[in-house]
Structure formats: C-alpha cells, structure tokens
Amino acid sequence: MENFLHHNISQDSLSVLFSKAPVAMSLVIGDEFIINSANPQILELWGRDESVIGKPLFEALPEIKSQGFIEIFDHVYKKGETFNGNRWSVFLQKYGSYEEHFFNFIYAPVYNDHQKIIGVSIVATEVTDQVVSEQKLKESEYRFEDLIKQSDYSIAIYRSEDLLIELANEPMLKTWGKDKSVIGMKLEDALPELEGQPFIGILKDIFRTGKTYTATEDKVELVVDGKLQTFYYNFSYKPLKNSAGEVYAIHNMAVNVTDLVEARTKIQESEKKYRDLADSMPQFVWTCDKNGKITYMNDSWYKYMGFSKDDDVNEAIEKIIKPEVYPEVLKVWDESVKTGKPFEVEYEFLDPQNPDTYRWFLGRAVANIDEKGEIKQWIGTFTDIDDFKQLQAQKDNFLGIASHELKTPLTSLKLYTQFIEQNLNKQSDTRNAEVARRMNHQIDKLTDLVNDLLDVTKIQKGKIQLNESEFDFDQLVDEIIAEQQMTARHRILFNHYKIGDVTADRHRISQVMSNLISNAIKYSPDADKIEVSTDLQDNTIKFSVKDFGIGIPENKLQKVFEQYYRVNETKEHTFPGLGLGLFISSEIIKRTGGRIYVHSIEGNGSEFCFEIPKFKI
C-alpha cells in the first residue's frame, strides 16, 4: 500500500480529493478494512469524528456488523465486483440516538499497480429525507383512496390515454351497472354502450388539453339491469398532474340527477303531477312567484326542517340560514328576480338534528318563461351537499399536505443544483453550468406552483394573512419591473405617476404585480412590449398592465378570476400554469379592501387593473 501511495497518489492529493469532493467518500484498506481516508461528509453520515481514521471499519461502526455489510465488503474485496446500494436502510448510532437512515452508495474495489485488490472505496449519499417524504406522500395517497371508496358519491379514476379503470367506488359501479371485475379494464371495453356517445372522446382530449371538464344534467345511455337506459348526471372530469405538469390520470365524480331532470319535464306537463312527484323527492323543491316570494315547498322540506305548513316559508328560511351570509344570498336572489338569470348559490342551513351546527346546501332556481318572454314563476331546489363539501375540504387538505411535503425536497434540489452550477463554473465547464442553471430555473417554476397551491389552501381555509406596513409604492413597482425585465424578451414600458407611501402588505401586493406582468408577457407571445401604468385619484391607487396579445372573449371575462381557470388561445395552443395566479391575486386585493378587474377584446389584448386604498380610513 505504501508503495502504491508513493507511486500513484500522494497522501496530500488523496486528502485534498476526499475533502473537496461534493459527496461522502472514504477509502478502507486491507482485509480488516482499515479506514485510510474519510472526508467530512462521510464522517457526518456516520456520526463520527476523525478519530476513527486508522481503525477497522467494523470497529468504528460496530452497529452495522449485523446488517449484512461484512458479507458485502468481503464480496467486493475478494471478488472485485462493485456493489451498488439504492435507498439502503441502515441503522446507525449517531449522537446518542440509534435511528434508521437511508443511503445510496457504491462500494468499489481499489487496485495497486500490480492489479491486486488492496481495499474498497466508498461513495455515499444520504436520501433519508426523500425516502421519508415519499413514504408520507404514499400514505396520503392511501388515505385519499380510502376517502374515495367510502364516499357516497360516484367516483372513479382513469389512468393513461387508454382510460384504464384504476379505481371505482361502489356507487360508481352501481351507476355503471357493473361489478369490480371491470377495474383494470379499458373504460370503452367495460362500458361498450358508450360507443357513439361523446364521453370517451372528451376524456382522451383532457390528456392533451389538461383542462377540467364539467357537465350539468348531461344525458348518458347505460346498460343497467341488463337493458339500455337513459340517465342524467352532474359530473366532472378533473385531470391529475405529476410534478412536471403532465396529466397522468383523470378523476371522475358524478351525481345522478335523473330524477330531478325527469321531474322538471313532468312539471312542464302538469302542475298537479309536478307537486305529487316533488313531494316524493328527497331534495327540497320549491316555487316562487315572479317577484321572488316562495309559494310552495315540498313535503321533504317540512319533514326535514320540522316546520308547519302554516308557517311563512320566507320567514322560516331567514331563521335557519346562516346569519352572516343571508344578506349576500338575498342580494344574488334579488338580482336573479330582476334579470331572469338562473339562481345558484351554496349556503348553510341550520341542522334541525344538531341545532348548534349548519349543513351545506346548494340552492338552484330557474325562471319559467311564458310565451311573451315574461317570468311566470320560479322553480327551485335545495340539495344537501354537506358530504360533498367535506370531501372537497379533505381534497384541499390533501393538496395542502402534498404541497407542503414537496417544499422540502424542492429546497434540497435547489441547493444541490446551485452547488453543481457553482462547481461547474469554477471548472470553466460553462456548457454544463448552463444546464444546471436551467435546472435551477425549472425548480423555481415548480416552487412557484407549489406556493400557489399552498396559497389557495390558505385562502380556502381563511388562513391567508396580510402583514400591513407603510412602504414606498413607486419603489416597489420599479423593483418588480426590473425583476421581470431580467427574464422577459418584451420591453416593459412604464407610465409613471408618483404615488408615494401606501399602507398594505408589501409582499402580497408585489405578488399581484408580478402575476399581472408575467401573465401579460405569457399571453402576448407575438408582441414585443407591454405597458405598466400607475395613477392616484383621491385616496385610490390604480395599477394596470396592458398587453397586445390574444385577448379574452367577452363571455369569459368574468371567469378569469376563478380558481383553476386558464385562458387558451386555441385548442392547439395552450399556456402553462395551474390557473391559480389571478384567483390568488383577486383574493389578496379583496382582502386589501380594493378591487381587481379586466378590460379585453379578443385578439386585441387585455388590460388588467387593481385599485387599492392608499391609506386605511
């Protein structure tokens, strides 16, 4: 060994090599595996200090003797075969604690100049955090799968463009008129009667577009109880995406509304038949006159709520609806009565079985129009959706947990990527350093998506907080524009109006500004500039971003601030993102006491604006 070191690698060179290596490394010599060299990284993994150098490996780490490592080292040393360990479980005594760790490592034979094996080299990386995170994520997936199976709603998951039925709960199997034998089959093979109907095509198209598809009272022909029958469903097809934003499966949730659709048809045929049928339905069915005063409630309402038919229904609803939401519901209802637009609102009714709690209901109503185009009456329903809302909340919790768990490995990945880039730059390897820089940029994008999911979860739970302070609004705008200009090919033109100091949450307002500017750049791919402007009227600050891009159709203007809504130029040209940025921005501005809005002409660009008070009054 001494001859080998003198003629091949100097001791100083070996020490420098091991100490400067970005991974944990060690060299053990002889059949007793004496620790000849060990860099700080591997000493940290072992939980030991430099005093172990010069000692036999299994004397320095006695706890690994019974874990199969003696046999592995003997095999490498005697047979000269490299051994690779992937996510290998190892119990180590570190800092007074005996715990399980996970490592990726390589044990390779070391030869002298006579091609004789004189030792074993060790290269190791600890992946404990990654393994534990994946285990937790897998546990979350199991819990989510159990929630689906226990749900009273019809739910199924289809994987890959072949639409393989990966999961279908009992209500969905009952909906199809099938048993568990269809799980694992292609949807079109399991339900051949879907041929000629649009659903298979819609599902396959979602793998290309990544857009959620929802339908209300959609007609479907299914073979149930041995015969082809017609049903109507409210359903959604929601794409499930991996960390790269690729659709890998589709989540299908359906609610059978056949009875409701058939009931409405019968209502149009006969008022008496309608009331008889409505009284037998589990939903609360009601009618209003053209002025919005309730004239009828079905028997299910009285049985569930415990009211007498002599009670005034309008007063009864005011008593049981949650007080803080009643004014807003009344406002929406008055607007429907005035305009004839369909009414649809979710709100909470007092639970008669548990007087201190409320249950979620979906209120819907449509106007019955006479031959003159005037409203004759309103026909509506209250549907108990409390279980659905709970499932939705559990889904949001799952997204929150998953997003939170993703942040740790993302942070580690970013650190590793930056480290690699710095080292490559030091080695003047600019080509690979550029690859590392691009990797770092993509990690930033993924981190932004995870942060958006976390923000949405906070908003839905009412936990998003604004940390207000006084700051220079003009300075913030300059910083955001300079930051965006660094990565944009568009020229960002700024029409400046001096605003001065403002009281708001600086971080959240900057988040909204960045989102509006980056959206303007993204949705104007053929333009070369965007315009940013500020203005001050009395105590109101106005910030606007104008682009010269694809624009937004007039019928979609009110949807752009909705959760998960994404603007697409054509079916062939989609834009990346989760459709959360404008929703989050809207919520931030609302909580700041301002408003956000958009002016747009399809094909001629858009102008997004927000207004906030300069100072709180």
Q: pLDDT of 583-616, one tens digit each? A: 878 888 888 889 999 999 888 899 999 999 988 7
Report, as an integer, the average pLDDT of 430-444: 76
How far apart, in whole angstroms, are the C-alpha atoms of residue 414 and residue 416? 5
Q: Is the distance from CB of 41 to CB of 21 less than 8 angstroms?
A: yes
Three-class HEC string of 301-323? HHHHHCCCCCCCHHHHHHHHECC
**Cα 301–chain centre separation:** 38
Are the CB atoms for 285 and 278 separated by under 8 Å? yes
Per-residue confidence at 2, pLDDT binned at 50, 70, 90?
Answer: very low
pLDDT attached to residue 412: 67
> What is the mean pLDDT of the segment spanning 24-41?
92
The ranges assigned to domains in the chain are 2-126, 133-256, 261-384, 390-460, 469-613
Give me the CATH code for the 133-256 domain, please. Answer: 3.30.450.20
- Top CATH class of 469-613 equals alpha beta
For residues 380 and 343, is the Cβ–Cβ distance under 8 A? yes
CA distances from 387 to 391, 394, 462 (A): 6, 11, 20
Residue tagged 């500039």 (tokens): 529
Q: Is the pLDDT of residue 96 over 90?
A: no
Structure-block tokens of residue 595: 């408003």
Following CA atoms 172, 174, 180, 182 in sequence, which dihedral angle do they give, to the nearest 10 degrees? Answer: -70
pLDDT of residue 104: 92
Least confident span in 24-28, 135-139, 250-254, 329-333 = 135-139
Res 170: pLDDT: 87
- Comparing 2-126 with 261-384, is the CATH topology the same? yes
Give the span between the Cα atoms of 270 and 274, in whole angstroms: 6
Instruction: Choose the most confident range, by mean pLDDT, from 6-10, 89-93, 132-136, 486-490.
Output: 89-93
Q: What is the pLDDT of residue 570?
A: 47
SS3 614: coil
Residue-level pLDDT at 136: 72
Q: Which of 14-18, 69-73, 609-613 has the lowest mean pLDDT?
A: 14-18
By mean pLDDT, which of 45-59, 161-175, 423-437 is the weakest? 423-437
CB count, 10 Å around CB of 126? 19
Output 555-561 pairs: Cβ under 8 A, ≥24 positions apart: 557/598, 557/600, 560/598, 561/585, 561/586, 561/596
Question: Closest Cα to residue 26, out of 146, 120, 111, 89?
Answer: 120
Q: Is the pLDDT of residue 513 over 60?
A: yes
Class of domain 390-460: mainly alpha
Looking at 1.10.3720.10, 3.30.160.340, 3.40.50.300, 3.30.450.20, the CATH number of the domain 2-126 comes to: 3.30.450.20
Element (H, E) at 5: helix 2-7
Residue 400 has pLDDT above 70, yes or no: no
Percent residues over pLDDT 90 in the chain: 26
Q: What is the Cα–Cα distance from 213 to 129, expressed in whole angstroms?
A: 37
pLDDT level of residue 351 (50, 70, 90 thresholds): confident
What's the confidence (pLDDT) of residue 587?
83
* The dihedral formed by the CA atoms of 103, 109, 110 and 114, expressed in degrees to the nearest 10: 180
Q: Over pLDDT 70: what percentage of the chain?
A: 82
Out of 30-34, 133-137, 423-427, least confident range: 133-137
Nearest to 406 by CA among 134, 156, 67, 1: 134
Q: Which pLDDT score is estimated for 33?
A: 93
**Alpha-carbon span 159 to 206, nearest angstrom:** 12
Give the per-residue pLDDT at 569.
Answer: 47
Mean pLDDT in the chain? Answer: 82
- pLDDT tens per residue across span 231-261: 998 989 999 888 788 888 888 888 888 888 8
Q: What is the pLDDT of residues 267-301, one digit of tens each?
A: 666 666 666 666 666 778 888 888 888 888 888 87
Which top CATH class is 261-384? alpha beta
- The pLDDT tens digits of the residues spanning 527-571 come to 999 999 999 998 899 999 999 988 888 878 878 887 655 555 444
Mean pLDDT, to the nearest integer, of 43-66? 92
* Range 414-437 average pLDDT: 79
In the predicted model, is pLDDT for residue 470 greater than 80?
A: yes
Burial of 283 (0-12, 13-18, 19+ CB in 10 A): buried
Q: Which helix (H) or strand (E) holds 249?
A: strand 247-256
Q: Which amino acid is at 321?
A: I
